[in-house]
């Protein structure tokens, strides 16, 4: 079944969500191990029914990707979990067989027509459709695309997967990691892209990598996590990646998700990007919010609030 998602216009670009996996019934204390029930009660009143099920007391999330189309080229921001992956750390996401590419096609895009794949970070649920399994091996799903992502993310996950060691990573300024990226993800979803010569590894430093597109450093969730800024026709959008997982974190910016590798750096990045987003009135496209997954951050008193659009 195909649902038609909302289309957003940012200057000369249209942005559409391509759905992969709805994630209902997430226990708040599992997603946010430091969340105290009193604080949750206080902030839950700001959450809509599409993000918080008041009957079960659970949060709703989503895994999806963003399709960005200009008149002359087509991009994807992040690529979900992918089909047929071996993911022992998260077996519920392993060996999927989902019609993601049919949904992309329903949005008018064949895999061959994707010119750029932009990756916010190298985690299981952001790089999966980089590849698909064909004739006994993992091959690029988007054979004509340049895959643009952080060199540091690549080096760190390659080293953890037993490839070239990266003795300088992670950088000490991020603090000690409390978890590591999941196994197999590099070998199944990243290495084949590099072997095919389709990777363009970049420094995440805020410089433009394409016209109007820049990768902003927001490390902490992962070693060199980026939020991606799109500017076109005087308008601005931010693809936030995993700076936040749920609107609750807009209200409680100091809350780390269970998936953050460097919690203190992640918190600092979250506060910085929330401030940036509200100041620039950027339309924010999130990786894991449910509902429309898109909205605005506004400053309110000492903190921030979220408005879906």
- Subset of 125-184 contacting Zn ion (CB under 5 A): 125
Residue with smaller CB distance to Zn ion, 103 or 245: 245
| Minimum separation from the CB atom of position 128 to Zn ion (A) | 11
Query: Which one, of 227, 212, 232, lies nearest residue 10 by Cα?
Result: 232
Say if residues 215 and 228 touch (Cβ distance below 8 Å). Answer: yes
Query: Which one, of 257, 136, 128, lies nearest residue 185 by Cα?
Result: 128
- Give the DSSP H or E segment for 191: helix 191-195
- Subset of 237-256 contacting Zn ion (CB under 5 A): 242
Residue with smaller CB distance to Zn ion, 125 or 153: 125
Residue with smaller CB distance to Zn ion, 117 or 235: 117
> By rule CB under 5 A, what count of residues binds Zn ion?
2
Residue with smaller CB distance to Zn ion, 19 or 242: 242
| Minimum separation from the CB atom of position 136 to Zn ion (A) | 29
| Minimum separation from the CB atom of position 125 to Zn ion (A) | 4
If one asks whether residue 78 binds Zn ion (CB under 5 A), the answer comes out as no
- Subset of 97-136 contacting Zn ion (CB under 5 A): 125
Rounded distance between C-alpha atoms, residue 56 and residue 100, angstroms: 29
Rounded distance between C-alpha atoms, residue 206 and residue 246, angstroms: 25
Residue identified by tokens 């109007």 is 212
| Minimum separation from the CB atom of position 31 to Zn ion (A) | 11
| Minimum separation from the CB atom of position 226 to Zn ion (A) | 13
Residue with smaller CB distance to Zn ion, 222 or 235: 222
Q: Please identify, among the stretches 132-140, 156-164, 174-182, 234-242, the one whose residues bind Zn ion according to the rule CB under 5 A.
A: 234-242
Residue with smaller CB distance to Zn ion, 64 or 103: 64
| Minimum separation from the CB atom of position 242 to Zn ion (A) | 4
How far is CA 302 from each of CA 3, 66, 254, 280, rounded to the nearest angstrom?
A: 38, 31, 13, 18
Give the pairing type, strands 303-308 and 294-300.
Answer: antiparallel
Rounded distance between C-alpha atoms, residue 17 and residue 293, angstroms: 8
- Subset of 286-305 contacting Zn ion (CB under 5 A): none
Residue with smaller CB distance to Zn ion, 20 or 236: 20
Residue with smaller CB distance to Zn ion, 19 or 125: 125
| Minimum separation from the CB atom of position 222 to Zn ion (A) | 9
Q: How far apart are the first and last CA of the chain?
A: 24
Say if residues 254 and 248 touch (Cβ distance below 8 Å). Answer: no
HSE of 86, CA atoms in CB hemisphere, 13 A: 8
Q: What angle do CA 183, 187, 193 make, to 5 degrees?
A: 140
Interacting residues with Zn ion (CB under 5 A): 125, 242
């Amino acid at each position: 079944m195909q649902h038609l998602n909302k289309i957003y216009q940012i200057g000369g670009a249209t942005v559409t969500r391509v759905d992969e996996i709805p994630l209902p019934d997430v226990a708040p204390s599992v997603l946010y191990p430091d969340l105290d029930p009193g604080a949750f009660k206080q902030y839950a009143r700001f959450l809509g029914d599409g993000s918080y099920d008041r009957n079960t007391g659970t949060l709703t999330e989503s895994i999806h990707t963003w399709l960005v189309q200009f008149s002359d080229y087509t991009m994807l921001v992040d690529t979900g979990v992918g089909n047929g992956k071996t993911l022992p750390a998260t077996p519920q996401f392993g060996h999927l067989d989902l019609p993601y590419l049919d949904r992309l096609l329903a949005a008018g895009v064949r895999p061959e027509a994707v010119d750029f794949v932009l990756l916010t970070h190298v985690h299981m649920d952001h790089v999966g459709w980089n590849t698909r399994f064909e004739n006994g091996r993992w091959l690029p799903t988007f054979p004509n695309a340049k895959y643009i992502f952080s060199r540091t993310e690549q080096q760190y996950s390659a080293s953890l997967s037993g490839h070239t060691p990266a003795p300088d990573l992670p950088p000490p300024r991020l603090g000690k990691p409390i978890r590591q990226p999941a196994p197999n993800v590099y070998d199944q979803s990243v290495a084949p892209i590099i072997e095919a010569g389709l990777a363009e590894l970049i420094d995440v430093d805020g410089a433009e990598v394409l016209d109007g597109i820049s990768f902003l450093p927001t490390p902490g969730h992962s070693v060199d996590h980026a939020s991606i800024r799109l500017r076109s026709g005087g308008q601005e959008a931010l693809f936030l990646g995993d700076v936040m997982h749920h609107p609750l974190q807009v209200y409680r910016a100091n809350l780390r998700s269970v998936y953050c590798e460097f919690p203190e750096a992640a918190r600092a990045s979250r506060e910085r990007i929330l401030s940036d987003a509200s100041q620039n009135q950027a339309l924010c496209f999130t990786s894991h919010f449910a509902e429309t997954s898109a909205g605005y951050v506004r400053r309110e008193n000492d903190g921030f609030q979220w408005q879906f659009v």
